[in-house]
Amino acid sequence: MEVQRVLKPQPKKNLWKPEEDLILKNYVEAHGEGNWATVSERSGLMRGGKSCRLRWKNYLRPNIKRGEMSKEEEDLIIRMHKLLGNRWSLIAGRLPGRTDNEVKNYWNTHLNKRSLVGKRKATDSSHHDHEENDENINKKNKFVPLMCHSEPNGSPNLTGTTKLCLDGRKVEEKEEESTTSNAWKEDTNSFSCTDMEYPIMGGNNATFVFDDEPLIAYLDSFVLFEAFGCVGDEAYEQMQSVIE
DNA sequence: AACACACCCAACCGCATCCTT
DNA sequence: GAAGGATGCGGTTGGGTGTGT
């Protein structure tokens, strides 16, 4: 018996065991994220830094949202992908609690396949009538400067990061300002949150409005910059060319 | 019940970019 | 500015599981 187990070839996929998860979780909670290369040495885990980082980021991190994608999330992924392509980390950044790996997998297994089928079966709208016809959706949507919004009492905290505004200004968000509620900044027309701090729609009061809301309304200026390499009027023109 | 096939998703890999010295 | 290490990202792999025959 024992011999058989020893001789049995090791699986190529080295799945994480619950005890390893516990070790990593405790270590990161105690020492913080970063220095992944040293995590394996210091924690006693026989894992590479990249593996530890990935496990933490995709699985162990607080506020990770697991389980089925909501229709809203799915819709957002479809629209974001239309605009950004395979920029999974960017797309995941708009889906608090979801990881890039999860979004990527979801796209590859559910949405990508369906979008291919959908082209042939446009009339089968019972499941996703919001998909109707992406081209039509895009054409009827007009550019408006903001993006997603949250209800006043459910706004996530902001942290000390640089926000890129539609007019091209960079605004440094200070940590101490972060306790002031509203994610929507009137003065900068920007909205931002991180998935760590923004425990997703459903868990929080943040809301996304779909169907009648313009496509661009899910994107903040940072995403526009990532998509088009510019902001403001220039981004608007680029956006229009994509839509048309 | 047994087998084959398809699907899902966690983990790995290689490259690009960022950061530190 | 250059070099080397750390980190981030997207593509791919492969093992587990579900489903059909």
Can you give the three-state secondary structure of A163-178, one letter per residue?
EECCCCCEEECCHHHH
Give the per-residue pLDDT at A65.
Answer: 82
Instruction: Kindly report, residue by residue over A209-223, the tens digit of the pLDDT.
Output: 333 344 444 555 666
Residue burial A48-84, b: 16+ Cβ < 10 Å; e: rest: eeebbbbbbeebbbeebbeeebeebbbbbbbbbbebb
Give the per-residue pLDDT at A70.
Answer: 86
Beta carbons of A142 and A212 less than 8 angstroms apart? no
Q: Is the CB of A31 under 7 A from strand C?
A: no
With distances taken from each CA to the C1' atom of nucleotide C9, the closest residue turns out to be: A89
Q: Where are the domains of chain A?
A: 14-60, 71-243
Q: Is the CB of A162 under 7 A from strand B?
A: no
CATH number of the A14-60 domain? 1.10.10.60
Q: Which of residues 12-31 of A touch strand B (CB under 7 A)?
A: 13-16
Residue A47: pLDDT band with limits 50, 70, 90: confident
d(CA A216, CA A57): 28
Instruction: Kindly report, residue by residue over A147-197, the tens digit of the pLDDT.
Output: 333 333 333 333 333 333 333 333 333 333 333 333 333 333 333 333 333
d(CA A131, CA A81): 13
Encoded amino acid at A17, one letter = K
Encoded amino acid at A129, one letter = D
d(CA A136, CA A202): 29
> Which pTM was predicted?
0.59
Instruction: Kindly report, residue by residue over A60-112, the tens digit of the pLDDT.
Output: 888 888 878 888 888 888 888 888 888 898 888 888 889 999 999 998 888 77
* Distance from residue A105's CA to nucleotide B11's C1', rounded to whole Å: 12
Of the candidates A165, A144, A167, A162, the residue with the CA atom closest to the CA atom of residue A216 = A144
